[in-house]
Structure formats: structure tokens, C-alpha cells
């Protein structure tokens, strides 16, 4: 009984520290809009970098030819080739391969990482079949999707600002990642030109627009989180170049680094941040994205084990290990709807090493998953809402008339596979927008849109144009 009382006290404390009432979400969205404006002004203290992507026009459907893309994410990287057939034939043929990044390369040297990537790409190019056609005498061209913040000076160059997610490699920050990749390709004897460097959000936006003309923003919810959207070039005070013909510029918000005292930061978040590779940075990302959600759950369960003997008199040693509980396992536990929570029980046995958990303990575990996932999803929805606010697609125009159909392309393993998470993002967005505006807004899964998007941008920036 004493244990129960103590467990209830911890749970209650967790519930209140993770709470995200709608009014709080509105405040967070307003703070994000303010940070976006600061970033667009070029304020060096702005939390959202609002990076200029040098993409001023999105795919039209006219793109054609053979193009490659390489997508370096936080967990995986993908190589892809696509034969584009213009307006009529669209994507004629597409092939891709996914390779997981060996963990030691995430914390090794720049050269090792890029050599590994270039080798995988060279191998993939080697399997190009007859149905892909490169005109005589032409060099193969590639769109490089890079899911880390980079300062671009053109569509095909950019220097790394900082590593995020699980990456920590000395010597890459400040270097041009396109030259790094190009040199590695040369070392592999691979003759290929990088014609577009795009953030994964920008790639997803481009791929999304190719599929649906009303896509105005893209959001990634995978290992990390980020968003990009189409901004009016004249709403970017820091842009000093010529006004693009389209009048638009795609902005990579780098919203993962958002931080605000409005964010419901718990003791578990603070401790996880403190022990991370990048303390004090990427706070919003650490509350929302796939790399971290399972770890937050683990920390709460550990507290319950210590304070309320949740898993018996001894604290299971495995529960002390950082990142032992991965987000896909958390999702599997959360999605267990069987009456005896059998899957959840089996997961606890596998991961934490405790057999024979009581039904009550299983329910508590699922409830913790629910609290952490729900906070993440609601905060993510506040982010989407803030972008819609920024571009004036959050409400019906005041002068009357209907709001244009507005599509947000979403991608990333977390959004794609964690159903309870994605449904909560959508429900919260609907709630924030209200009935009328939400009827014009569509959240659309853009599965692997970033790869095809990068290939499309490589095509529209081809040296043979
Ligand atoms: P990347 O972030 O490397 O580009 P993805 O977009 O595929 O790659 O996202 C991978 C991340 O998505 C994983 O690290 C994990 O956190 C999350 N994820 C993958 N599968 C699931 C799942 N079934 N349930 C919950 N989260 C998942
Ligand atoms: Mg990705």
C-alpha cells in the first residue's frame, strides 16, 4: 500500500510536469512565430536559424532525366535513383537502397563517414540497369539531402553549423559538406556532381509539392525534428540578394533548437539534456523526436523503480542504462491493447529484464508511454500551427472568402510508424485551428519524399539546364 501511494505520487508529479493544455500550446506557437521573425531578421541570438535554402522554386512536374539522391539522416542513409519523364510520364522508374549508419561512424572522423557513404553510393551506381538512361557524354548528378543545419551560400554548397542527434564528429563543423562528399566520391573513383544540397525538410517539401500542388510546408518527425516552408522573399529582411523571380524562398526553420520557458521541461528532460552530447541545445527536439522519447520513458520508469519499487525490491540494472529503451519499443508497448498487456510484458522482460510484471505495473508503464508520447505530439502540433500562423493559413481570411487548401507534408519514422503519436498530432492541430480553418488544412504523410525531392531539385539545378 505504501508502494502504491508513492507510485501514485510520482505519477501525479509526472502528469503535471508534462501537461500541455491548449492555452499553453497557443502561447508556445506565438513564441515560435516570434522566434521565426527574429531568425528571418538575422538576429544572431534568434533560436530558430531560419536558414535560406536557395530553393526559390519548387518542382513543377517538368523535370526529366536520370538523377541520383543521397539522404543522410540521423539513423539511416538512403541512396536513390530516379528516371523522370516530365509532365506526362512523371516518375518513370525509381530504385532505392537503405543502409543503417554504423554507430562508430557517428562519432568518428569526417573522412571515415564520407568515405563510407561514397562507397555505398558507388556500389549502388554500379547496379544501374538498362532502364535508366543517361545521355551520352553527361555526368551523373546528385541531390544531397543532409539532415543537419548547414549555412548555404548557393544551392550546391553549405557549411555545417553543428552536428545534432547522435552525431559528434570532429573537424566537420565549418567545412563545406558538398566538397567533403565530392572528395570522397573522387576517392571512390565515382564521377558524379552534386547539383543540390538540401535539408531533409526542404527535400520533403519539394517531393510533397511534386505530388500535390497545395503543399506549403514540410515537417520531419524522425530521429530528430525540423520543418521547412515557403516564405515570401520580401518577408526575409536578412535576404540581401536579388529578389527571386518567383517571389518566394524556402526557409529551413531548424525548429529543433527552439527553447522557451513556456516549454513544459521536466526534471527528466533536464537530466537527459545535461548528459547528452549537446547540452542546452535542441531542447524542443529532445522533447519531441524519436531519438529521445523512449529515453524519457526510461528515466521516469527508473524514478518509479527507485521511489516506489515498481519492478520489485531491487532496481533492475538494465533500467539504469541510457537509451536502452528505444522509441519503437515504447511504441509497441503503448500500442498494446490486449486485456493482459502481453506484448508490453514481453517487452519489459526483453528490455529491462524483469519477468512476471503485474498487470498494474504494465498499466502504469503504458500510461507513462502515453504521457510522454502525448506531450511530444501536442508540442509538434503547436509547431505546425506556428508555421501556419506565420504564413496566414491558420484562419479564414478576415475579408471573407474561403481559406485556400493548405497541405503540410510530414515524414520521418516516428510520424510514419507511431500511430498513437501521429493521430494525436492531427487531433491537436485540428483543435488549435478550430473547425472552420482545419477543414482546409491537410496533414499528409510524404513517405520518403525527401529522397525524391532532392533528386527533383538536382534536376531543376542541373548543369545541363
Ligand atoms: P532519419 O531520422 O535517420 O532520417 P527516419 O525518418 O526513418 O530516419 O526515422 C527513424 C526514427 O524514427 C528512429 O530513430 C525512431 O526513433 C523512429 N521510429 C522508427 N520506427 C518507429 C516505430 N515503429 N515507432 C516509433 N518510432 C519509430
Ligand atoms: Mg530522414
> How much is the pLDDT for 399?
84
Closest residue by CA, ligand 1 atom 25: 328
Q: Is 54 left (phi over 0), alpha (psi -120 to 50) or beta?
A: left
Q: Is the pLDDT of residue 26 over 90?
A: yes
- Of 8, 153, 57, 22, the C-alpha closest to 461 is 57
Q: What would you report as the CA-atom Rg of the chain, rounded to the nearest whole angstrom?
A: 23
Residue 397 predicted with pLDDT over 80: yes
Query: How far apart, in whole angstroms, are the C-alpha atoms of residue 263 and residue 259?
Result: 7
Half-sphere exposure at residue 157, Cβ-oriented, CA atoms within 13 angstroms: 6
Percent of the chain with pLDDT over 90: 94
**Which bound ligand lies closest to the C-alpha atom of 76?**
1
Give residue-wise pLDDT tens across range 129-151: 999 999 999 999 999 999 999 99
Ligand 1 pocket check for 65: Cβ under 6 Å: no
pLDDT in the model for residue 190: 98
What is the number of the ligand closest to the CA of 329? 1
- Give the DSSP per-residue string, 101-160: PPHHHHTSBHHHHHHHHHHHHHHHHTT--TTS---TTPPEEEEEEE-S-EEEEETTEEEE
Nearest in space to 452 (alpha carbons), one of 126, 153, 81: 81
Q: What is the pLDDT of residue 20?
A: 98
Quick check: 21 pLDDT over 80? yes
Q: Which ligand is nearest to the CA of 449?
A: 2
pLDDT for 8 equals: 98
Which amino acid residue places its CA nearest to atom 19 of ligand 1? 413
Q: Closest residue (by CA) to atom 12 of ligand 1? A: 413
For residue 98 and ligand 1, the question of a CB distance below 6 A is answered with: no
Exposure letters 261-271 (e unless 16+ CB within 10 A, then b): ebbbbbebbee
Helix (H, G, I), strand (E, B) or coil at 264: coil
CA angle (455, 70, 48) in 5-degree steps: 90
How many degrees, rounded to 5, is the angle at CA 100 between CA 327 and CA 129? 135
User: Does ligand 1 lie within 6 Å of residue 290's CB atom?
Assistant: yes
Q: How far is CA 202 from CA 143, 144, 402, in A?
A: 11, 11, 28
> Ligand 1 in contact with 256 (CB < 6 A)?
no
Average pLDDT over the chain, rounded to an integer = 96
The pTM is what? 0.97
In short, whether 414's Cβ falls inside 6 Å of ligand 1 is yes
For ligand 1, say whether the CB of 294 is within 6 Å of any of its atoms.
no
Q: Kindly identify the ligand whose nearest atom is closest to the C-alpha of 201.
A: 2
Q: 362 C-alpha vs ligand 2 centroid, how far in Å?
A: 32
pLDDT, tens digit (0-9, with 9 covering 90-100), for 90-132: 999 999 999 999 999 999 999 999 999 999 999 999 999 999 9
Does the pLDDT at position 447 exceed 90? no
C-alpha cell read off for 105? 561512424
Looking at the predicted structure, is the pLDDT value of residue 45 above 90?
A: yes
Mean pLDDT score, 357-378: 98
Under a CB-based contact definition with an 8 Å cutoff, are residues 70 and 79 in contact?
yes
Q: Is 415 exposed, middle or buried (0-12, 13-18, 19+ CB in 10 A)?
A: buried
Whether the Cβ atoms of residue 172 and residue 110 lie closer than 8 Å to each other: yes
Active site amino acids: 165, 200
Q: What is the pLDDT of residues 261-293, one digit of tens each?
A: 999 999 999 999 999 999 999 999 999 999 999
Quote the CA–CA distance of 387 and 429 in Å, as a whole number: 12
Answer for the pair 295, 323: CB distance below 8 angstroms, yes or no: yes
User: Which residue's CA is minimally distant from atom 1 of ligand 1?
Assistant: 73
Helices 419-438 and 359-390 cross at an angle (nearest 10°) of 40
pLDDT at 400: 79
Distance 145 CA to ligand 2 centre (A): 8
Alpha helices in 289-358 (DSSP H): 290-308, 327-334, 342-347
Question: 413 in ligand 1 pocket by Cβ < 6 Å?
Answer: yes
Measuring CA to CA, which residue among 401, 321, 333 is closest to residue 366?
333
Of the candidates 221, 211, 68, 50, the residue with the CA atom closest to the CA atom of residue 139: 68
Q: Are strands 157-160 and 441-445 parallel, antiparallel or unpaired?
A: unpaired
**Segment 350-359, tens digit of pLDDT:** 999 999 999 9
**222 pocket-lining for ligand 1 (C-beta < 6 Å):** yes
The arithmetic mean of pLDDT across residues 227-252, rounded, is: 95
> 71, 78, 145, 222: which to mutate for ligand 1, most atoms within 8 A of CB?
222
- CA separation (Å) from 277 to 20, 49, 160, 286, 313? 27, 20, 17, 12, 33
Q: Which atom number of ligand 1 is nearest to the Cα of residue 223?
A: 2
Distance in angstroms (rounded) separating the CA atoms of residues 227 and 244? 22
- Model confidence at 401, pLDDT cuts 50, 70, 90, reads confident
Among candidates 121, 244, 98, which has minimal Cα distance to 190? 121
Confidence of residue 73 (pLDDT cuts 50, 70, 90): confident
DSSP assignment, residue 170? B
Other Cβ atoms less than 10 A from the Cβ of 113: the count is: 24
Q: Which of 71, 72, 73, 75 to mutate to test the pocket of ligand 1 (most atoms within 8 A of CB)?
A: 75
Q: How far apart are CA 402 and CA 415, in angstroms?
A: 29
Residue 1's pLDDT band, with cuts at 50, 70 and 90, is confident
Q: Give the integer Cα–Cα distance in Å for 168 and 92.
A: 39
Amino acid at each position: 500500500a505504501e508502494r502504491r501511494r508513492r507510485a501514485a505520487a510520482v505519477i501525479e508529479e509526472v502528469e503535471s510536469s508534462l501537461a500541455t493544455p491548449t492555452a499553453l500550446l497557443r502561447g508556445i506557437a506565438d513564441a515560435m512565430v516570434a522566434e521565426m521573425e527574429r531568425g528571418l531578421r538575422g538576429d544572431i541570438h534568434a533560436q530558430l536559424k531560419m536558414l535560406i535554402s536557395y530553393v526559390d522554386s519548387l518542382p513543377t512536374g517538368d523535370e526529366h532525366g536520370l538523377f541520383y539522391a543521397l539522404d543522410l539522416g540521423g539513423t539511416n542513409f538512403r541512396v536513390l535513383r530516379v528516371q523522370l519523364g516530365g509532365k506526362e510520364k512523371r516518375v518513370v522508374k525509381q530504385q532505392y537502397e537503405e543502409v543503417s549508419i554504423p554507430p562508430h561512424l557517428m562519432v568518428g572522423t569526417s573522412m571515415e563517414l564520407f568515405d563510407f557513404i561514397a562507397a555505398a553510393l558507388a556500389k549502388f551506381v554500379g547496379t544501374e540497369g538498362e532502364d535508366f538512361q543517361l545521355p551520352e557524354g553527361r555526368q551523373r548528378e546528385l541531390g544531397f539531402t543532409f539532415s543537419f543545419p548547414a549555412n548555404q551560400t548557393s544551392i550546391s554548397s553549405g557549411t555545417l553549423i553543428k552536428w545534432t542527434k547522435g552525431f559528434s564528429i570532429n573537424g566537420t563543423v565549418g567545412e563545406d559538406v558538398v566538397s567533403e562528399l565530392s572528395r570522397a566520391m573522387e576517392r571512390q573513383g565515382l564521377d558524379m556532381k552534386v547539383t543540390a544540397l538540401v535539408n531533409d525538410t526542404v527535400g520533403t517539401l519539394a517531393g510533397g509539392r511534386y505530388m500535390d500542388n497545395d503543399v506549403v510546408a514540410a515537417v520531419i518527425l524522425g530521429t530528430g525534428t525540423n520543418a521547412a516552408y515557403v516564405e515570401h522573399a520580401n518577408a526575409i529582411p536578412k535576404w540581401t540578394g536579388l529578389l527571386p523571380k518567383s517571389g518566394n524562398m524556402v526557409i529551413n526553420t531548424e525548429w529543433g533548437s527552439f527553447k522557451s520557458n513556456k516549454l513544459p521541461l521536466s526534471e527528466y528532460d533536464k537530466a537527459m539534456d545535461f548528459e547528452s552530447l549537446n547540452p542546452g541545445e535542441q531542447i524542443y527536439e529532445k522533447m519531441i523526436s524519436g531519438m529521445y522519447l523512449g529515453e524519457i520513458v526510461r528515466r521516469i520508469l527508473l524514478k518509479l523503480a527507485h521511489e516506489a519499487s515498481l519492478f520489485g525490491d531491487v532496481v533492475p540494472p538494465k533500467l539504469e542504462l541510457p537509451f536502452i529503451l528505444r522509441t519503437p519499443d515504447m511504441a509497441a508497448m503503448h500500442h498494446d491493447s490486449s486485456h493482459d498487456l502481453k506484448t508490453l510484458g514481453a517487452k519489459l522482460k526483453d528490455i529491462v529484464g524483469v519477468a512476471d510484471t503485474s498487470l498494474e505495473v504494465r498499466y502504469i508503464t503504458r500510461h507513462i508511454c502515453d504521457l510522454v508520447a502525448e506531450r511530444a505530439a501536442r508540442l509538434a502540433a503547436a509547431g505546425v500551427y506556428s508555421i501556419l500562423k506565420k504564413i496566414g493559413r491558420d484562419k479564414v481570411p478576415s475579408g471573407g472568402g474561403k481559406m485556400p487548401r493548405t497541405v503540410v507534408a510530414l515524414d520521418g519514422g516516428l510520424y510514419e510508424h507511431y500511430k498513437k503519436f501521429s493521430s494525436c498530432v492531427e487531433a491537436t492541430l485540428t483543435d488549435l485551428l478550430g473547425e472552420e480553418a482545419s477543414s482546409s488544412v491537410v496533414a499528409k504523410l510524404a513517405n520518403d519524399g525527401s529522397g525524391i525531392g532532392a533528386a527533383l531539385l538536382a534536376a531543376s539545378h542541373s548543369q545541363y539546364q
